[in-house]
Structure formats: structure tokens, C-alpha cells
Amino acid sequence: MAAMKWWGWGHEGVEFTHEDKPALGPFILEAIGVDVRSRGAAPLRFDQLEIPDPALPGDLWEALEQAVSPEFVSLDRLDRLVHARGKSLRDLVWQRAGELPRVPDAVVRPSSEDEVAAILEAAMRFDAVVIPFGGGSSISGSLEAPAVETRPVISVDLERLNKVLEIDADSRLARVQAGVFGPDLEQQLAARGYTFGHFPDSFTHSTLGGWIATRSSGMQSDRYGDIADMTKGLRVVTPSGTLVTRPLPATSTGPSVREMVLGSEGRLGIITEATVHVRRIPDKRVILGYLFPTFSAALVAMRELAASEHSVSVTRVSDANETQFSFAMRVMPSLADKLQSRALRVFLSRKLGWDLNEMCLSFIGYEGSEQHVAAQRRGVGKLVKRHGGLCIGSGPGALYDQKKFDIPYIRDFLLDRGAAGDVSETATTWSNLKPLYEAVTKAASGAFASVGVQGYLMCHLSHSYHAGACLYFTFAFKATSPAAMEAEYEVVKSAIQQAFVDNGATLSHHHAVGTEHAEWLEQDISAPGVAMLEALFNGTDPGQHLNPGKIVGTNHRAGAPVRAARAD
């Protein structure tokens, strides 16, 4: 698995394009005033970057080479650069501009838990810092060493720990190494008739260990659960030895150590292996598209669906803005025909009285036996109808399913054109969804206005639970100037995050804390909650060798001091 671009999402040569999407250019021009034909803001070339030489003391270097053999201790400049950060919008802006962070001094690639333990032992012995690295897809600043870090920094890339070790068919559990990427994991399982069923947007470029370390959620969580539900056994190399939690269905052994590792972002140790839920590949799988007259109507329908006896695999509803964006993204003429057909629009507006500007696109997924899927479709169809919704068949859902992992590329596409695009997602109770949505909309509008940009905000409900749901916001704007983008982004992103915690929602549903969300943590989990996390981290890793500064700590904005220095 080759690493991602040092300056953007995905592999070199793979990019998002508007050229096969006739309506997208006009849409973007109207939404944020960007002409997609004018690519004006390229990243620096690699040879223009000033990448510092590695500062790796000889005895540490030797110990690392003993731990994993010399060929798997890399001091290569590009390798180190790729491992220096994740893929947050801020990361992309800085990387493209050559504003580099504290680049790790070495990238090591262990092939076994013993090798991971030897790396950690060496790091502790020679007072170095270790940062575990999966796919490098973090958008919360979880992978960057503190700018002020003077100790050697070692990025531990787990890509060689990529095997499904064992499947327990009776227990529907698989024992899997932590460094396996999404597609590889599904392929190894599919060869034996199983699926893990965890499909986050980052799926193609993220790993099992990364999902666990950040409390990831996949698109089919309504059926499969979040990563926290699916992960049972864990093996984690820690400063006091290898933590082993058994693959138990449930246990009452005090505060859950398993739940401490989930979301720990490398601060407690390096996850090497997990025993996770798997399921037989279902006979039937379909995602149906639905249209609702308004976002409010769709939210109520999803709430009733969650409270009903129906079982579905996906619940997703775009608000009106995101619905317009989805329509503008269409490639295939058959879908375009269907959605745009004058007949349908006339029917919806004249016969049903819909305001087409308020219309919302929804996807609901079904999985299982033919009979089960048929029964759920029927039942859900009636529920949708009661809320004024309309089924538009499986075409849009199939297209969504096929294109869903392309979305992260759009940020690079926009940056190439001087515009910022990013996401903020949260979760709250059903009763608070609409008030929260309105508060965030207002906060974003205010932020766009305050920095004088034409912004666009859109949103979808992406995961449903008993008591509430995830709202996933996407925003974009054209910066007033390239130099102003970062500050303007900061204002908009902060306004949205602040609206989350000010209105009873969480700072993130599944993107973790890292450094970029850390300033809102106390407002989310309260000061005693932060104190408990600090007690856990400081007691487990008193020397701060494990990915210091993430989640809690004194260095919430890892990049800030470097930027300040450069501004002088």
C-alpha cells in the first residue's frame, strides 16, 4: 500500500474532476464564486521544500535497526514528510505552502508485535517519541509531533501488520492485525465469505488500528455498529508491557480498558491486533433513494425509523443544500434524466406542492436475506410515505455507493482553485437535531459574513441511533486571498465547532480530537472529564513518549509555534 500524496488526498495521479459533471462548474460558481476552469493555486514542488535532516542519535538508530532490521528504518525525506501530518484542511494548506511541521526523524515499519515492543523499548530507553501511523488519513491533527518537540520523533508505520490471522466462524469474530487497510481487510474476509462492514469515507486510505484509535464510524453503522461496538479483543504494546483484552461479548471488570484504548490516538500504546465482529456477506444488499419535501420532514422520518421495528443498514438524509450539490455531481445521464426530468419536477411541485428548493435526497440501505430485505423495504416505504417522502429507486443509491470514497479528493480540487472546503461532524439527540442544525447554519453564515467570503454550508444525517443521530456538515468558501485562507478557515471552522458544543452536541462524532478539536474538549466532557483523561495518560506514560500533546495536553495546536516563528 503506497502512502498518500504529501500534499493531498489519495495516491499521486488520482484526482477529482468536474469535467464529466456538466452541472458542477455552474453550481460551484454560483455557490462560492469559483470558476472551476481556473486552476490558480498549485502546491509547491517537492524539490522546493526545506525538509530538515533527521536528528537520530546513533545508539537509537542502531536500536531501531536491531528492532526491525535496517531496511525498515527509513530516513528518506519524502517518506518522513508523508508521515509528518495527516490530511486536515489545515495540514493540506500548510503542506502545499511548504510550511512543514516537526518532521519525524525516522519512519520504522515493524512486521510483528515483538518488533513493535522493541521499537517502544528503544524509544523509552533513548528518550524518543513514538507516533503510530496507519493510513495517515487523520483530519484532526492526530499524527503531528509537537512543534516544540526536541526529542527524536519516530513514526511507527504499521502497514506490514496487515493480515487476517484467524476467523472464528461460530463466534463471528476475526483476529486481525492493526495495520490492514480497508480494502485489503474486506478482500481477505470476502475470500472466506465474510465482511467487516466498516466503510468510513476514508476507507481506501485508513486502517483497522487507525479506526480503533480514533473511534471511527462507517456508513453502514446502523447495521454493523460503530468501531467501538465491533471491536472486542485488543492487543496494545504499552510502556508496561502488552495489554491484552479478551474478545468478550460483555464484561463487568471495572471501567472498560477496551474503551480506554478506543479513541486513545496512540497515547496509551500501539495497537497491534484486534478481534472484531464479522458477518457473513449478505445475500442481498440494496440502497434505495428517497426524496422528502423538507429536511424537517426527513429528520422526523429517520427518528421514527430508529424507533420502529424495522432494521436497516444505512440512514442518510441530505439537507436542501447538499441535495442541490448531489444533483450537480451527477455523471450518468440515466440518473440525470430521472432526477431532472421535467415530468418529475412538475409532478413534485405542481401535484405535490413541493418547494423544489427545499427538497431533500435520502438514502436508506437494506441488507440480509431476500425475504428480510423485501419486508424491510415494504415497511420503510410506508413509513417514508407517511412523511411525504417518495422512493426514487436503486439508481441513485448505487451511484452513491460507488462514488462515496471520492469525496475527500474535492478538498484538493478546491484548494487548486483558491477555495477551502472541509467538514465538521457531530452527534446529538433526536430532539436537538433541528435546533442544532439551525444554530450551526446561523454560526456558519455569521462566520462567512464576518470574514467577507461567499460561503456554502451543507449537511447530512449520516448515522442513526436509539437516542439521536450524527449530523455531518460540509462547508466551502473562496478565500479573499491565498494568504488569508488559513485565518478565514479558522474563523469558519471554529464557529461551527463552537456551535456544536454550545448547543448540546459533541465536538466530533467520529473524527476524534487530535490537536485540532482539543480546545473544545473541556466544553464537551467537562473539566473533571479532562482531568480523568489526563490521569490516565500521565499515569500510563509518565515520560510522555507516546504521541504527546494529542487529545489533552499543553500543546493543543501543534503547528502554532512554527507558524509564529515563520511570521517573525
Residue numbers 417-456 binding its own copies by CB under 8 A: 427-432
Q: Taking the CA atoms of 372, 373, 379 and 380 in sequence, report the sign of the dihedral they define.
A: positive
The verdict on 190 binding its own copies (CB under 8 A) reads: no
| Catalytic residue (choose from 224, 290, 400, 472) | 472
For its own copies, what does the binding mask look like between residues 524 and 563, x meaning CB under 8 A? Answer: xxxxxx-xxxxxx-xxx----------xx-----------
Sole binder of its own copies in the list 436, 513, 546, 562 (CB under 8 A): 513
Of 419 and 470, the one with the shorter C-beta distance to its own copies is 470
Considering the complex, what minimum distance in angstroms separates the CB of residue 116 from its own copies?
14
Binding of residue 470 to its own copies (CB under 8 A) = yes
Whether the CB-CB separation of 335 and 252 falls below 8 Å is answered with no
Give whichever of 245 and 441 is closer to its own copies, judged by the CB atom.
245
By CB under 8 A, tell whether 232 contacts its own copies. yes
Provide the edge-to-edge strand list for the sheet that holds 419-429: 390-393, 284-292, 360-368, 314-318, 455-464, 468-478, 419-429
Based on CB atoms, which residue is closest to its own copies, 10 or 269?
269
Contact of 498 with 446, CB cutoff 8 Å: no
Q: How far apart are the first and last CA of the chain?
A: 40
Nearer to its own copies, 428 or 441 (CB): 428
Please give the Cα distance from 530 to 458 (Å, whole number). 31
- Report d(CA 382, CA 390) in Å as an integer: 10
Site for its own copies contains 193 (CB under 8 A): no
What are the φ and ψ backbone dihedral angles of 416, each rounded to 5 degrees? -60, -20
Which CB atom, from 8 or from 132, has the smaller least distance to its own copies? 132
Quote the strand ranges of 293-445, DSSP E: 314-318, 360-368, 390-393, 419-429
Q: Which residues inside 28-87 make contact with its own copies, applying CB under 8 A?
A: none
Is 290 labeled as catalytic in the residue annotation?
A: no
Q: How far is the CB of 213 from its own copies (least distance, A)?
A: 10
What residues numbered 98-157 form the site for its own copies, per CB under 8 A?
A: none
Taking Cα atoms as reference points, which of 222, 368, 221, 219 lies closest to residue 284?
368
**At its nearest, how many Å lie between its own copies and the CB of residue 374?**
12
* Binding of its own copies by 247 (CB under 8 A): yes
Contacts of residue 504, Cβ cutoff 8 Å, sequence gap at least 6? 428, 429, 432, 436
DSSP 350: I
Binding to its own copies, residues 276-335 (CB under 8 A): 277, 303, 307, 309, 311
**Sequence-ordered strand ranges (E) for 309-454:** 314-318, 360-368, 390-393, 419-429
**Closest CB to its own copies among 103 and 521?**
521
Window of 59-67, 72-80, 250-258, 386-394 that interacts with its own copies by CB under 8 A: 250-258
Least Å distance, CB 427 to its own copies, is 5
Catalytic residue list:
472
